[in-house]
Amino acid sequence: MSIKVLYIDGDGPMGGASRSLFEVLSFLHSRQEISPYFFVSSGSATVFYKRIAVDSLEVRGMSKFDNTRYGYYRGMRWAILLREMVYLPFMCFGLFQARRRWRDVEFDVIHVNEFVYLLPALLAKVIFKAPLVVHVRALCRDDQGSLRVRFLNWVFSNFVDSVVAIDGNVRRTLPADVSVEIINNSFSPSASNAPAPEFVAKFKSLSKETFKAGFVGNLHLSKGVFEIVQAAKILRDQGRDIDFIMVGGITLEDKGLKAWVLSKLGFAQNFASELNELIAREDLQNCFHLMGPTLDIKYVYDQISVLLFPSHFDAPGRPVFEAGFSGIPSIVAVRNASDDTFVSNETGLAIPAKDPGALAEAIAYLQDHESERARMGGNAQLLAQKNFVPERNAAKLLDVYAELVRVSNAKFNS
């Protein structure tokens, strides 16, 4: 009998976290190991979840409490809690609807896709009376002098039944006395869709001879997009023949009063509206190419020479290991990465965050040293095949579920 799991994902747009969850659940669902239900915020991710869902329920948004290393509340960022208060009634009413819709379903496990959504997860645990798995994908703020950190650690210890971290980097930011299962994210290169003809045409319009530095992800300032533009200018001025390939779009386009308020408070992240203007101002149209989003990520990695991941999060993101499957090394803004995700000078080059000069230097090095690029790319491929294959990681996640079911049944029968 398959395990009935209620999945909670508050992000909405399809991004790295939702794609990673979808990859592993698709494998488990194909083997009929799980019966997945979804309680999610409306967005593009729901299109994918519905492919495998027994049933799903969407809400306008979910309240979260961000205590990640990058996004924790301080100064004007406390104002973001106003948004969470707005989402609160939608979330609570949605959970009430879920309880009515699934009144005959006895969930074996509740699984929340990121720890910032602990509030809806804990409410769901009370409502559905099932053990809770918390997936931690972002680096947690680990300042032990913080009351918020101590409170969340207490919640992990007392109300969460199992904690899953996506890699050693994340594990290091969690309490040492909390049991954590490390299950790396997954990628199925063979599952990519065929690229749209117009998307392929954009790549074919580029010279086959140029060195190609690629970026994959949403066009957010926090992803280091501005630094990539500055690095492109530095390298263009040096006379280097490099095409910068930007694949991705924006998650949400804020307009009107909301956009103005977010901009004034310094919370606006989407950079797409300013990017074309900046490219034109710096006269980079001949080397900087905005390709737009695509579902066929594998095709992109097969076309580029190196992946750029100069994010401000101090962690290797999903594109790093996705590129690894194609034998492509990465340039990553990271300090002391755990060796299950990225090894500096072995699978790519590590640089400081927010440093376009260092980024430009790393790109130039890999352009000039083809043998090193090939060596690092080969190592990246071996690491990807070792740690990021869905079959292996799905089995680990299923073991987590099975153990929770076993413990729950033992308590019921005692």
pLDDT one-digit tens code per residue, 6-60: 999 999 988 889 999 999 999 999 999 999 999 999 999 999 999 999 999 999 9
* Predicted local confidence at residue 413, as pLDDT: 72
Residues 90-112: tens digit of each pLDDT: 999 999 999 999 999 999 999 99
CA 9 – CA 57 distance, rounded (Å): 11
Q: How confident is the model at residue 195 (pLDDT cuts 50, 70, 90)?
A: confident
Q: Which residues pair with 182 in a beta bridge?
A: 165
- The H or E element spanning position 136 is strand 132-136
Residues of the chain above pLDDT 70, percent: 93
Q: At what angle do helices 356-368 and 225-237 cross, to 10 degrees?
A: 60
- CA dist., res. 78 & res. 72, Å (int): 9
Quick one: average pLDDT of 302-324? 96
Q: Which band of pLDDT confidence, cut at 50, 70 and 90, is reported for residue 194?
A: confident
Strand partners, 197: none
Angle at 308 (CA atoms; ends 305, 310), nearest 5 degrees? 165
Residue 292 · residue 203 · CB < 8 Å: no
Compute the average pLDDT of residues 280-295. 92
User: So what's the pLDDT on residue 275?
Assistant: 87
Q: Which fold has domain 3-186+389-413?
A: Rossmann fold (3.40.50)
Supply the pLDDT for residue 252. Answer: 46
Q: What does the block give as tokens for 244?
A: 């910068």
- pLDDT for 291: 94
CATH of 189-387, one of 3.40.640.10, 3.40.50.2000, 3.50.50.60, 3.40.50.970: 3.40.50.2000
Q: Please tell me the predicted confidence (pLDDT) of residue 267.
A: 52
Whole-number pLDDT of residue 298: 93
H runs (alpha helix) in 205-325: 225-237, 256-265, 272-281, 297-303, 318-325
Say how far apart CA 26 and CA 136 lie, in whole Å.
Answer: 20
Q: What is the pLDDT of residues 14-28, one digit of tens each?
A: 888 999 999 999 999
Of 344, 333, 334, 347, nearest to 388 by C-alpha is 347
Crossing angle for the helix pair 16-30 and 390-413, to the nearest 10 degrees: 70
Per-residue model confidence (pLDDT) at position 183: 98
Asked whether the beta carbons of 14 and 48 are under 8 A apart, the reply is: yes
pLDDT tens digit sequence for 120-162 = 999 999 999 999 999 999 999 989 899 999 999 999 999 999 9
What whole-number distance in Å separates Cα of residue 56 and Cα of residue 98? 9
| Residue 285, pLDDT above cutoff 80 | yes
- Report domain extents, the chain: 3-186+389-413, 189-387
Contacts of 335 (CB under 8 A, 6+ apart): 314, 350, 352
The mean pLDDT value of the chain amounts to 92
pLDDT digits (tens, 9 = 90+) for 250-269: 644 444 544 445 554 555 55
| Type of residue at 388 | F
pLDDT at 254: 46
- Residue 219 pLDDT class (50, 70, 90 cuts): confident
Give which of 3, 20, 13 is closest to 388, Cα–Cα. 20
Place of tokens 């409306």: 42
